[in-house]
Amino acid sequence: MRHLILIVVTLFGNLWLQSQSNIDWKSDLLNLRNELPFKHSDLFFKISKEAYEKRN
């Protein structure tokens, strides 16, 4: 029973915290798109750089 209460409190606490924060997803994804080619060791092994840039 204690485990169930802990899980419920944790779940609702996380949901409440997520609803309180303003996450700028578009900015995060744009940053990932721009930084990934520099950080990934073999990003273009299945797709060309031109196709990657065209998709984005």
Residue 56: pLDDT over 70:
no
Specify whether the CB–CB gap between 28 and 13 falls below 8 A: no
pLDDT tens column, 1-50: 777 787 877 777 777 666 656 777 888 899 999 999 999 989 899 989 89
Between CA 39 and CA 42 the distance in angstroms is 9
Region at 22 (left for phi over 0; alpha for psi -120 to 50; beta for the rest): beta
Please give the single-letter amino acid code of residue 36.
Answer: L
